[in-house]
Amino acid sequence: MLLRSTIVHMWRFGEMEKIMVTGALGQIGSELVEKLRSIYGEDNVLATDIRKLEHTKGPFEVLDVTDGQRMHDLAKDFGADTMMHLAALLSATAERNPLLAWNLNMGGLMNALEVSRELNLQFFTPSSIGAFGPSTPKDDTPQDTLQRPTTMYGVNKVAGELLCDYYFNRFGVDTRGVRFPGLISYVTPPGGGTTDYAVEIFYEAIQQGKYTSYIQEGTYMDMMYMPDALQAIVDLMEADSSKLIHRNAFNITAMSFEPSQIAAEIKKHLPQFRMDYKVDPVRQAIADSWPNSINTDAAKNEWGFKAEYDLAKMTIDMLEKLKIKLQKKAIS
C-alpha cells in the first residue's frame, strides 16, 4: 500500500490542473477560488456551494456536500484532478447546532474523501487550532501533542485529521491539510468563528470609531492574514509529496495577539479609536480551550511554509483595503 501511495504521489507532484472547491462562497473559499483561477485559469476551477449568488464568474454549481452522488457526478463531469473541501460549520455556529455540525462537517468530509478515492483526486481540507483542547500545551504548541477538544467543531476537526490520515494510509489518497489559526480578511464578512472579533474590530474602527470585544483582554490566539493563508494552501498542494511526513494537520500561524494589542495597533492609525469589553461566555470558553501560540516548525521544514504579514503590516493593509471597500459600498 505504501508503494502505491508513493507512486500516486510522485505523479501528483505539482500536477494541479482541474480543481473542484466546495464551500466556495465561504470566508476562505470565496478568496481561494479567485486566487486559484488567477494561477490555473478561470475555467479550470469549479466553485460549488449550497447557494448561488446572482453574480458569479467562472464555472459554478450548486452542491449540498451531504449529497455524495451529486458531488461525485460534478467532479467526474468537470474532469477534476484535485478536490479542495472547505464546506463546514464554524466553531461558534457549531456549538449552537452540534448535531447539524456533525452531520454536515463529517458527512461532507466523508463524501469528499470517497469521491477523491473513487476518482483518484489530490485532496485538501483545512483543520484548525480548534482541534486542540484545554489539556493541550498552551504555548509553542507542538505539531504532535495531546488533542482532546471540548467543542463539537474541535471534535469534528480531530476526527477529520484522522480520517484524512486513514484515507492516505489505507487507500493511497493524496490527502493534505493545515491547522488554520484565526483568519483575517477584508473581502468576506465574518462567518461565525471565535476569532472573528479580529475582523469585526476593523469594520467598527472605520465605521464607528469604537468596538466592543466579546473576547476578554489577555486572551491570546493565533491569527493569520488571508493572503498568507491562501498562499499556504497553494504551496502545500504543490509541494513534493515524498517530503510530507505530517500531511493532514500542519500547524501554521503568522502572529499571536490578544484584543488590546490589535486595538493598540489600530490606534496608531486611528488615534480616536476606543475599545471596551462585553465578554460572550460561549465564544470566550472556546477561545480559552485553544492554544496561545503554536509551533510551525514541521510546516517550515517539510514544505517551506512562511508568512509575509505580521500584526503591524496586516493592520496597515486591512485599514487601507477596508476603507476603499466601505467607501465603494457607501457610493453604490
Give me the active site residues, please.
Answer: 153
CA dihedral for 63, 67, 70, 73, sign (positive or negative): positive
Q: Do 187 and 199 meet the contact criterion of CB atoms below 8 Å apart?
A: no
* DSSP state, residue 181: -
For the record, the C-alpha cell of 291 comes out as 492554544
| Cβ atoms < 10 Å from Cβ of 262 | 25
Instruction: Round to whole Å and give the CA distance between 158 and 299.
Output: 18
Instruction: Round to whole Å and give the CA distance between 86 and 178.
Output: 12
Task: Please enumerate in sequence order all residues whose Cβ is within 8 A of that of 257, keeping only pairs 6 or more positions apart, or say none.
Answer: 198, 220, 221, 223, 311
For the record, the C-alpha cell of 119 comes out as 476518482
For the record, the C-alpha cell of 72 comes out as 461525485
Give whole-number Cα distances, 326 to 187, 267, 331, in Å: 11, 19, 9
Question: E strands, 27-173, where?
Answer: 45-49, 60-62, 82-85, 122-124, 127-128, 139-141
